[in-house]
């Protein structure tokens, strides 16, 4: 503390007599502080280095003026030697960073001193003279400019560093996104060419008269047809994900008989399952199924997708479909009144590790992550399904199968009656 | 004597319909005998016996394993070139059709030629196969 005051005194040339004078005049001068601060800083734009300072901005300037006045106030109340000096760190820290505060404090005191000179000459009885301080102002001004520049540069460098880091991060993300999209495009191109090979190849054979019988021609036409259907499914998936990503997917949500949806979807995978020797177990067969609030076509698409995945990723064993209706939440319990039915599709297939389950729902991301290259298809089914079911107010997820091996895909679909009763409630009593 | 024996082409293709197209095209229009398999042991056995005149090889093999890990057409081509007792032309047939794929795949695999799917011109396929077998 003492050494600091000594340092200040040396720097400014204060004497004990000066200090006594200041204390005596302080209360009278205090009302002039705002003006002093304004006048001092009004000179800054005239300084040759001013352009550097003013890039620091208005806020910095306001803080400088405040700090200056606080210093002057402390000085004249005679407290600077004690508490006020102890606060110098905080005062300086207001607008300059660590390491600069002391220099700033000295500068602020100098400014007070220089302006006091003018005021002292005005206020003091004639004959009493104080030392001339005319040279002090420029020196102080320089110091302040330096401080402000340092402070500004420091802040700027920090900002630039931060900006640079953000840019680098953005760059990395862009590169990764671009790589993922490239991989996706390459994968899709590959997937589209495979059914095209059968469509064009067999059509050409028929046209070239390479078939040995009408029966064989018919068989090849069947192959053409099924390949074209596969191609259509791929194209639809690509269009769907594009529509979803652009926020253009609109659903027609209405009361839908879940029984009808299930009964019309299961046969679509039954043949595939039978060809692979898989058992397709429908545990819902003898359970009453509710009316749900959904887009029928899209719900069927989601179900078909989950069922196809289950069949696709299962080599042997079974694929099981079951439902669970959660108990109704007690009234006034605060629990959301939306009741949903839970559909489960469980397989005995290769399963998907917990850490890769989220990625499975991301469009474009999954290729390298879950090695979908080893399986056919656009690899968009789960991403599309999730968005569709969420648009219906439902949810979708993957878990480990109950036997520990394989995958359990679940689907929560809002029940029709909950939604309609909530709607009439929202409309309010008449 | 060689003229009388139909030459054997080994088709390595995991998509059954595409394999069916190759087989029909090569057997009917070219008079070749075809073996279709994606099993690595079987492929190597056929090649090592020296009975194969040409391998028509897909790049993306979804079910093929070698030494208990997945192996693709590129790696398999290199392996077959090493193991073949004599000259063994390999024709890569792939749906990888992005810019640079041809050069990259040919260089990486050591295959003799590259056809891009969709392959549907029977005559073009046949001419490529015949040219490669003649050497």
Compute the Cα dihedral for B65, B67, B68, B70 and give only its sign: negative
Exposed / middle / buried, residue A243 (Cβ in 10 Å: 0-12, 13-18, 19+): middle
Task: Please tell me the least confidently modeled range out of A236-240, A313-317, A325-329, B125-129.
Answer: A325-329
> In chain B, where are the structural domains located?
8-134
3-state secondary structure A231-274: HHHHHHHHHHHHHHHCCCCCCCCEEEEHHHHHHHHHHHHHHHHH
Does this model's pTM top 0.95?
Answer: no
Q: Pick from A203, A208, A227: which is nearest to B17 by CB?
A: A227
Closest-CA distance of chain A to residue B64, Å: 10
Summarize pLDDT for A192-204 with one digit per residue, the tens: 998 999 999 999 9
Strands B65-66 and B69-70: antiparallel
Give A99's contacts (C-beta < 8 A, 6+ positions apart): none
Q: According to the CATH classification, is domain B8-134 in 3.40.50.2300?
A: yes
Q: Pick from A185, A191, A204: which is nearest to B122 by CB?
A: A204
Pick from B92, B14, B98: which is nearest to A183 by CA?
Answer: B98
Domains along chain A with CATH numbers: 2-161 (1.10.490), 177-245 (1.10.287.130), 254-427 (3.30.565.10)
- Ordered strands of the A318-324 beta sheet: A279-282, A318-324, A340-347, A407-414, A395-400
Q: Pick from A198, A210, A373: which is nearest to B17 by CB?
A: A198
Contact of B119 with chain A, judged by CB distance below 8 Å, is answered with: yes
Closest-CA distance of chain A to residue B125, Å: 11
Summarize pLDDT for A98-114 with one digit per residue, the tens: 334 445 555 655 666 66
B96 within 8 A of B21, measured Cβ to Cβ: no
Residues of A in contact with B97 (CB under 8 A): 189-190, 193
The ipTM, to two decimals, is 0.89
d(C-alpha B133, C-alpha B135), whole Å: 5
Contact of B62 with chain A, judged by CB distance below 8 Å, is answered with: yes
d(C-alpha B57, C-alpha B76), whole Å: 9
| CB–CB contact B117 A196 (8 Å) | yes
d(C-alpha A180, C-alpha B64), whole Å: 25
Q: What percent of chain A has pLDDT over 70?
A: 55
Summarize pLDDT for A374-421 with one digit per residue, the tens: 455 667 889 899 999 999 999 999 988 877 788 999 999 999 865 444
Judged by DSSP in three states, A124 sits in: coil
Place B57 in a pLDDT band, splitting at 50, 70 and 90: very high
């Amino acid at each position: 503390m003492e050494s600091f005051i000594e340092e200040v005194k040396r720097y400014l040339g204060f004497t004990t007599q000066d200090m006594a004078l200041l204390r005596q005049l302080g209360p009278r001068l205090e009302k002039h502080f705002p003006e002093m601060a304004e006048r001092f800083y009004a000179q800054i734009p005239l300084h040759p280095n001013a352009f550097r300072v003013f890039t620091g901005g208005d806020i910095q300037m306001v803080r400088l003026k405040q700090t200056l006045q606080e210093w002057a106030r402390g000085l004249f109340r005679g407290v600077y030697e004690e508490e006020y000096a102890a606060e110098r760190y905080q005062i300086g820290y207001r607008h300059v960073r660590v390491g600069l505060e002391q220099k700033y404090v000295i500068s602020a005191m100098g400014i007070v001193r220089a302006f006091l000179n003018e005021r002292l000459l005005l206020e003091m009885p004639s004959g009493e003279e104080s030392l001339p301080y005319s040279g002090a102002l420029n020196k102080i001004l320089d110091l302040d400019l330096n401080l402000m520049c340092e402070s500004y540069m420091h802040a700027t460098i920090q900002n630039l560093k931060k900006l640079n880091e953000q840019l680098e991060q953005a760059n990395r993300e862009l590169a990764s996104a671009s790589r993922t999209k490239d991989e996706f495009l390459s994968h899709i191109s590959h997937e589209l060419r495979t059914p095209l090979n059968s469509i064009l190849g067999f059509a050409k054979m028929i046209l070239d008269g390479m078939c040995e019988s009408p029966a064989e021609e018919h068989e090849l036409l069947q192959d053409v047809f099924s390949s074209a259907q596969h191609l259509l499914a791929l194209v639809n998936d690509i269009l769907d994900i594009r529509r979803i990503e652009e926020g253009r997917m609109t659903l027609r949500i209405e009361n839908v008989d879940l029984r009808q949806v299930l009964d019309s979807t299961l046969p679509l995978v039954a043949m595939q399952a039978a060809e692979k020797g898989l058992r397709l177990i429908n545990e819902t067969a003898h359970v009453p199924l509710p009316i749900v609030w959904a887009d029928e076509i899209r719900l069927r698409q989601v179900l078909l997708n989950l069922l196809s995945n289950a069949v696709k990723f299962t080599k042997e064993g079974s694929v099981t479909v079951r439902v669970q209706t959660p108990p109704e939440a007690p009234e006034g319990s605060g629990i959301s009144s939306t009741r949903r039915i839970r559909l489960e599709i469980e397989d005995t297939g290769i399963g998907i590790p917990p850490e890769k389950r989220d990625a499975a729902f991301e469009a474009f991301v999954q290729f390298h992550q879950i090695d979908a290259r080893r399986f056919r298809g656009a690899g968009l089914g789960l991403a599309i399904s999730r968005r569709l079911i969420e648009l219906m107010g439902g949810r979708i997820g993957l878990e480990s199968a109950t036997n520990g091996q394989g995958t359990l895909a679940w689907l929560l679909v809002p029940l029709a009656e909950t939604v309609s009763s909530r709607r009439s409630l929202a409309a309010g009593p008449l | 004597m060689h003229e009388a024996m139909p030459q054997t082409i080994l088709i390595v293709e995991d998509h059954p319909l595409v394999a069916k197209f190759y087989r029909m095209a090569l057997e009917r229009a070219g008079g070749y005998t075809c073996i279709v398999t994606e099993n690595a042991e079987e492929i190597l056995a056929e090649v090592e016996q020296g009975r194969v005149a040409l391998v028509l090889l897909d790049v993306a093999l979804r079910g093929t394993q070698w030494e208990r890990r997945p192996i693709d057409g590129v790696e398999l081509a290199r392996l077959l070139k090493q193991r073949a007792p004599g000259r063994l032309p390999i024709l890569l047939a792939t749906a990888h059709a992005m810019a640079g794929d041809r050069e990259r795949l040919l260089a990486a695999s050591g295959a003799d030629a590259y056809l891009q799917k969709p392959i549907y011109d029977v005559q073009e396929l046949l001419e490529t196969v015949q040219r490669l077998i003649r050497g």
